[in-house]
């Protein structure tokens, strides 16, 4: 699908405003961050880093990853004057060789639903490698995914089993779109 390549997102992030920009911190992200994360937090598909910056301001070490170099450039500029700055890297969420873990927490607000089935499998493998055993991964995904893959709790569970257990799934009307939040816990092995 052409809308899932970095050139498409680079063009979108060059615009003054993107259609998917967050104007508030989702309560689900705030609750996740309150868990604490001595080994750090990973934000997959971080875009311009608004949520990544929020996590850093809560006193946690955080790394944001996005495959749009334009988004990462804007994210770095956004935090340049901050006392505590997150790390930002240009990277593909299906191949994160530049990162080593473990991270205690991770989240993805709007990336996973853009991936096809093969990419989702690689995403899960990379996340399993990077997240500490027992670590939590939170995903917000559209029910009608741009990837064309129907997403519901059963589909998310299939994509992550056996490396993760789906702990919870809650319907959301975030951005007025039918969507869900999914809480996954990494297996102990």
**Cα R_g (the chain), whole angstroms:** 15
Name the token pair of 173: 């009307």
Q: What tokens does 17 get?
A: 């405003």
150: which residues sit within 8 A by CB, 6+ positions away?
A: 143, 144
Q: With pLDDT > 90 as the criterion, what percentage of the chain qualifies?
A: 71
Q: Which pLDDT score is estimated for 18?
A: 56
Beta bridge partners of 170: 181
Q: What is the DSSP string of 123-164?
A: HHHHHHHHEEEEEEEEEEEESB-TTS-B-SHHHHHHHHTTTE
Considering the entire predicted model, what is its pTM? 0.88
Q: Give me the domains of the chain, ranges plus CATH numbers.
A: 28-186 (3.40.50.150)
Query: When comparing pLDDT for 145 and 143, which is higher?
Result: 143
């Amino acid at each position: 699908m052409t809308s899932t390549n970095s050139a498409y997102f680079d063009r979108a992030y060059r615009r003054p405003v993107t259609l998917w920009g967050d104007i508030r911190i989702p309560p689900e992200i705030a609750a996740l961050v309150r868990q604490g994360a001595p080994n750090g937090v990973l934000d997959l598909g971080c875009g311009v880093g608004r949520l990544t910056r929020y996590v850093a301001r809560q006193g946690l070490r955080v790394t944001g990853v996005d495959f749009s170099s334009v988004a990462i450039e804007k994210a770095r500029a956004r935090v340049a004057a901050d006392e505590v700055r997150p790390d930002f890297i240009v990277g593909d969420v299906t191949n994160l060789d530049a990162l080593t873990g473990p991270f205690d927490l991770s989240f993805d607000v709007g990336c996973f639903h853009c991936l096809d089935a093969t990419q989702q499998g690689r995403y899960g493998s990379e996340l399993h490698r990077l997240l500490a055993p027992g670590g939590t991964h939170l995903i917000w995904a559209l029910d009608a995914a741009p990837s064309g893959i129907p997403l519901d709790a059963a589909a998310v569970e299939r994509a992550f089993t056996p490396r993760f257990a789906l702990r919870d799934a809650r319907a959301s009307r975030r951005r007025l779109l039918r969507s869900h939040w999914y809480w996954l816990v990494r297996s102990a092995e």
